[in-house]
Amino acid sequence: MSIREQRKQQRREQIIQAAKTLMLNNGIQQVQLQDVANEVGIGIATFYRYFANKELLVLAINNEITSQMTNSIRKIANEPLTAYVQIERILTYYIELIDDPQHQFVKFFKAFEAYKPISEETDEYKEFVDIRREMANVLYSIAEKGNEDQSIRAGIDIPEYVFTVVQNISYFTVESYLTEHDPNLPVKLDPKKQLKLIKEMFLQFIATKN
- Tens-place pLDDT, residues 128-158: 999 999 999 999 999 999 989 999 988 888 8
Tell me: domain 1-51, CATH 3.30.70.1070, correct?
A: no
Question: Concatenated DSSP letters for the chain?
Answer: --HHHHHHHHHHHHHHHHHHHHHHHH-TTT--HHHHHHHHT--HHHHTTT-SSHHHHHHHHHHHHHHHHHHHHHHHHTSS--HHHHHHHHHHHHHGGGGSTT-HHHHHHHHHTT---S-TTSHHHHHHHHHHHHHHHHHHHHHHHHHHH--B-SSS-HHHHHHHHHHHHHHHHHHHHHSPP-TTSSS---HHHHHHHHHHHHHHHHBPP-
- Residue-wise pLDDT for 3-19, tens only, equals 888 888 999 999 999 99
Distance in Å from the first CA to the final CA of the chain: 57
At 179 the pLDDT is 59
81: left (phi over 0), alpha (psi -120 to 50) or beta: beta
Mean pLDDT of 13-26: 93
At 176 the pLDDT is 67
Distance CA 115, CA 129 (A): 15
Q: What is the mean pLDDT of the chain?
A: 86
Model confidence band, residue 116 (pLDDT cutoffs 50, 70, 90): low
Sketch the domain layout of the chain as residue ranges: 1-51, 54-206
At 22 the pLDDT is 94
Query: Are domains 1-51 and 54-206 of this chain identical in fold?
Result: no
- Residue-wise pLDDT for 55-75, tens only, equals 999 999 999 999 999 999 999
By the 10 Å C-beta count (0-12 exposed, 13-18 middle, 19+ buried), 146 is classed as buried
Higher-pLDDT residue of 24, 82: 82
At 170 the pLDDT is 81
pLDDT at 106 over 80: no
Polymer length in residues for the chain:
210
- Residue-wise pLDDT for 159-203, tens only, equals 898 888 888 888 777 776 555 556 676 777 777 888 888 899 999
Higher-pLDDT residue of 97, 147: 147
At 210 the pLDDT is 60
Q: 54-206 architecture in CATH? A: Orthogonal Bundle (1.10)
For residue 152, list its beta bridge partners. Answer: 207
At 190 the pLDDT is 76
At 45 the pLDDT is 95
For residue 207, list its beta bridge partners. Answer: 152
Residue type, 189: L
Distance CA 141, CA 79 (A): 13
What pTM does this model have?
Answer: 0.85
Distance CA 65, CA 60 (A): 9
